[in-house]
Amino acid sequence: MSSPLSNQPLDVLFIGGTGEISASCVEESLNQGHRVTVFNRGKAPRISGVEWIEGDVRDNESYHRLVAHDYDVVCQFLAFRPEDVARDVELFSGRCGQYVFVSSASAYQKPWPGGVITETVPLENPFMEYSRNKAACELALADSELTVTIVRPSHTYRERLPSTVIDGVHLAWRIRSGKPVIIHDDGESLWTLTRSEDFARAFVGLFGRPAAFGETYHITNSEAQTWIAIFDTIAELMGETLGVCHVATEVIAGHKPEWAGPLLGDKANSLVFDNSKVSDVLGGWQCEISLREGLERTLAVVQGRLDRGYLPDQSDDALIDRIISQSGEV
């Protein structure tokens, strides 16, 4: 393994590497001159300049092939339960210089009455099993033999348009079709959106940095917007008029159990983050891509899907129509 104190390129392994966040991190790692290996199922388009190891994290035989090489940095994007990181502790102890675990800012206490969120906010989200499992993963790593850096992203986007109860392509389809969209409550709760390229600059900046060893950072935009402002911006960039129906969060969640956790445990809460900890260790990092620019990039992808004849799940779309009809607002 290369010395983490040197300025030489590092050998970096991404477990994942083609997702909404991780693809930008792979690209930034290459931009910084690191030697990058990616382990995943090989279903997504491959990024040039990367060594690929095809396998499934759920298959121990293929996963254990990773011990054939030592890495300076192992980036774990696909561990969601304590047993996942326990396997990594066994596998990578003594075989990597730094283990970067991708947790989630959704694990922070919800609702949080203390205003701006720092890394010291308790990890207590009673609404989302996913978030509780991420917190349990962090706890499992706390006393391990690995040199761990924990990163907590919040809503980070690249090709997926931000939305609430329906996915972003469905949201754009409704806007283009002239159909109203649902916004929880008054739409004034604050939400933080981080463009994946901005996240990646900070994420890769932590590689091989001794000051980051044993530390935890969230990496998010320091600016937040209301959900109504986000939806308005999307519609404006599409050249469409936004029709909105305001529905109480609890009412929305009552219509479909799968919506309850993401709303009550995340999106219906005002989330504003203090990023001074990661900014300080990186010498002044901050997000550079504006909301409008970021959404324009994403819309180029989303509108391409619409132009190719995208149709939403008809049962979900009918449910949205029914909720709006029952609300009596539109």
Domain spans in the chain, listed from the N-terminal domain onward: 11-157+193-219, 168-191+224-271+290-321
Structure confidence by residue, pLDDT tens digits, 177-236: 999 999 999 999 999 999 999 999 999 999 999 999 999 999 999 999 999 999 999 999
- pTM across the whole model: 0.95
How many CA atoms does the CB half-sphere of 281 hold within 13 Å?
Answer: 23
Topology, domain 168-191+224-271+290-321: UDP-galactose 4-epimerase; domain 1 (3.90.25)
CATH for 11-157+193-219 is 3.40.50.720
Q: How far apart are CA 224 and CA 284, in angstroms?
A: 19
What is the DSSP track for 110-167? SS-TTSSB-TTS----TT-HHHHHHHHHHHHHHTSSS-EEEEEE-EEESSS---SSS-
Cα 247 from chain centre: 26
Asked if the model's pLDDT at residue 260 lies above 60, the reply is yes
Q: What pLDDT, on a 0 to 100 scale, did the predictor assign at position 3?
A: 42
What is the DSSP track for 217-251? EEE--S--EEHHHHHHHHHHHHT----EEEE-HHH
274 Cβ contact partners less than 8 Å away, ≥ 6 residues apart = 116, 117, 118, 222
Asked if residue 234 lies in contact with residue 151, where contact means CB atoms within 8 angstroms, the answer is no
Structure confidence by residue, pLDDT tens digits, 59-103: 999 999 998 899 999 999 999 999 999 999 999 999 999 999 999
How many CA atoms does the CB half-sphere of 187 hold within 13 Å?
Answer: 15
Q: What is the CA radius of gyration of the chain?
A: 20
